Amino acid sequence: MAQASGAGDPALGAAVFKKCQSCHQVGDRAKNRVGPQLNDIIGRTAGGLAGAKYSKSMTKAGQDGLVWTEETLDRFLESPKSLVAKTRMSYRGLKDPDDRANLIAYLRAFAKGSTPAQNVPETGQETGQGAGIQLDPAVLAIVGDAEYGEYLSSECLTCHQSSGSNDGIPGITAWPTEDFVIAMHAYKQKVRDHPVMQMMAGRLSDEEIAALASYFNGLE
């Protein structure tokens, strides 16, 4: 395992962070989404950020004393489930020690009291699940029926796993409803490029998409 402390290139880490940004945000406008926002991650107790959704295992790890240092982040990034066995994070791990060191250096640039690194872009706010789509605010305001979403979900669950685990297919369990709705409409408008998802989303009404979003958001 690489010793990450004090090492790494934050500019290169910004490129590595693109692997993370479908679930995490960082920077001035960062919000909790599928995963917690990662500002000030170094020194934070695992599972301890207010307003973020965590697995029971991650919360328990924090209660048992797990704190995100550069060393524990390095271990987690290398193999998430080896550190927190039932983490909901579906990423299998970042095996290259240089990539891990660069990513940690990038996150370190967003810690309180740090000196902002030159030419390090903030990543993840503008490139979300459906950046660039035109979506009526009224569509986002639809309150979905979770029970109806469960009825509709069988087709989704032929590929996606309700546990949120990832076997080459992104997990969608506990997605924020807005992210889910935007992603589905991005497929519907053919902004996101995946022929099967474009076909499936194209068959769904706005109300059906909202129902599925509500159902999957409620899964633990």
Q: Where exactly are the structural domains of the chain?
A: 10-108, 137-217
Q: Is 22 exposed, middle or buried (0-12, 13-18, 19+ CB in 10 A)?
A: middle
What pLDDT is attached to residue 126?
41
pLDDT in tens, 87-137: 878 778 899 999 999 999 999 999 876 655 555 655 544 444 555 577 888
pTM over 0.75: no
Residues of the chain with pLDDT under 70: 1-6, 113-132, 161-171, 220
What pLDDT is attached to residue 168?
47
What pLDDT is attached to residue 158?
76
What pLDDT is attached to residue 117?
52
Same fold, 10-108 and 137-217: yes
What pLDDT is attached to residue 3?
46
- Chosen CATH of 10-108 out of 2.70.70.10, 3.40.50.1370, 1.10.760.10, 3.30.420.40: 1.10.760.10
* Class in CATH terms, 137-217: mainly alpha
What pLDDT is attached to residue 136?
86
In angstroms, the first-to-last Cα distance of the chain is 32
